[in-house]
Amino acid sequence: MRTAPAEAVGRAVFGESNHPQLEACFRAAQASFPNLYPDYAPRIERHIRQLVPLKLTTVATIGDGALEAAGNLVEAVAATTREFNELGAADMMAGMLAQATRKAGMFERWFGGSAGHVDYRAALGALKQSLGFFPRRTEELAAKVRHAEENLVVVLAALSAVSDVVRAPDDAGVERTLFDRRNIVGQAVQQIRMQPAQLRGLDERVTDLLSRADHLMNVVLPAALAARPQR
């Protein structure tokens, strides 16, 4: 029994089309995205088939889901970074150290009063717990960012191929929309590709602060408190 060639299977899955520019678009996508094409050819070609022949409604909306998901992730990364900054962990630790190492004032020396006792170990433990939330969040976001980039690049490959090959001399509007859509998706790809570095930077800051908190809790503050004069 003879088996159908892979190309024929692909055509059966995605439907036969007699549009003369489809094959040229497939070749253009493969030439422009050689590393992407072997694994994602079916998805890229599916988008190309959606685009060709050019229809304004399809061109203007293709990749909407991928764009929305990527935009939401960029906002989520920014919100996580903002939440980390608002925690003020470095300032909090600096304040604890200053409080523990400050010299007693005249009132305290004379009357044995205190400006307020701080349980440094409990405070630092709570701070470490808050910091420990971020690595889990950044790991989840990084996985979602990789998936979002993949979806966007697949759409971009299809848009780039079609905009390189297909022309609509009788409809300048749809052709302009095609180029605009390619630019929008291309900018979204650039933006989503910036997020892994942002997340790695956040992870590095969290790791540094966790190390500093351990050092402060177990070495610096015990020594500082032990050195204070006993009443």
Amino acid 28: pLDDT: 97
Amino acid 10: pLDDT: 42
Q: Report which DSSP code applies to 187.
A: H
Amino acid 229: pLDDT: 63
Amino acid 34: pLDDT: 94
Amino acid 15: pLDDT: 40
What is the pTM (predicted TM-score) of this model? 0.82
> What is the chain's length?
231
**53 preceded by a cis bond (ω within 30 of 0):** yes
CA distances 127 to 30, 93, 135, 175, Å, are 51, 9, 14, 55
Block means of pLDDT (10 residues each) for the chain, length 231 residues?
42 52 96 92 97 96 98 99 97 88 54 56 94 97 98 98 93 95 99 98 98 93 77 55
Task: Name the nearest CA neighbour of 94 among 207, 206, 209.
Answer: 209
Measure CA 28 to chain center. 29
3-state DSSP call for residue 106?
A: helix
Amino acid 112: pLDDT: 47
What is the secondary structure of 211-225 as a DSSP string?
A: HHHHHIIIIIHHHHH
Amino acid 113: pLDDT: 45
